[in-house]
Structure 1
């Protein structure tokens, strides 16, 4: 059972790593695109609406993928006033409870309510209101769903990890 738990943790950790990689690549592309747009606008006096819209498509990918990746490395915002007073075992309990009772339910709720929003956009073929803008307005909207799927996966991974560590602590196994 312990091997299965560790294998599942590693699989979920790799999945979250994929989210981080996708977010990193989209950030690199977005920075290059912003630089190119700025250069073309101020140096050559030309600009493209589709390029500006592509910037926020990439921003949505970067932000939504980055949430789960930040959770993986514990680089997210949290209230440390209370948690700083906890022992290591208390922190494991806090992380387990937070993953199961806060992060996972919130992620599932956001997925549940944002899926129809993205689906409707895709079915209607929603596109930019600008004539030279990008089609596929459903892509940034669906990134909310995809991003919180990764958050749910990371929440399960953290719950498994902290649960396993608590069992190991109380049973005295390594």
Structure 2
């Protein structure tokens, strides 16, 4: 099980890095939105490209962050019935969910999403809006995001099998640690202290 667990931890590390990087897309979207609003008010000028890049960033946050969300056990769950069972039974139900629901859905979206991206790339598809952006970067987010989600599903499956075999701790328990907001606040404080 050890090589599989190393593989799972490698996937975890990948999604951890992607998730942390994706957080900066939120800041970029806010800055672009603020600049767009200021330019529109001050100079009575607006661009569809500014609006569309915000949409692209928003899509990137949700699609690229899906694997990170699964890693952090922050995805939507309905535990009303499941909470009445033992943890081992809960893990077996989660394994069933990965195999029956997550894996087929991810494979279907990859099967449909990658050709969708390739068609847009090859045709040079542009936004129908005046001054709009090319579309393929937004379409690329679909297969990349679902590939990351699928990989994280594989990692979670491996870790749960290892837990049932008694070779790993329970991966379904949220780790008590600092939130992303707390980590960002500490980083900003450290930057301010270094600037003094």
Q: Would you call these one fold, judging by a TM-score over 0.5?
A: yes
- Structure 2 partner of 1:156: 154
The CA deviation at 1:74 is 1.3
Per-residue CA deviations over 1:131-174 (Å, capped at 9, x if unaligned) read 32222x011112111110011001000000000000117xxxxx
- Structure 2 partner of 1:145: 143
Contact 1:99–1:155, Cα closer than 8 Å, also in 2:
yes
Gapped regions of structure 2 (runs ≥ 5): 168-196
Root-mean-square deviation (Å): 1.5
2: CA distance, partners of 1:52 / 1:76 = 28
Q: How many aligned positions are there?
A: 167
Runs of 4+ in 1 over 6 A off after TM superposition: none
Q: TM-score, normalised by structure 2?
A: 0.80
- Structure 2 partner of 1:35: 34
The CA deviation at 1:12 is 0.8
2: CA distance, partners of 1:36 / 1:101 = 45
Per-residue CA deviations over 1:5-60 (Å, capped at 9, x if unaligned) read 22111101012113312321211111111111122222432222211111111111
2: CA distance, partners of 1:83 / 1:27 = 34
- Structure 2 partner of 1:68: 67
Q: TM-score, normalised by structure 1?
A: 0.89
Gapped regions of structure 1 (runs ≥ 5): 170-174
2: CA distance, partners of 1:89 / 1:115 = 37
- Give 1 or 2: higher helix fraction: 1
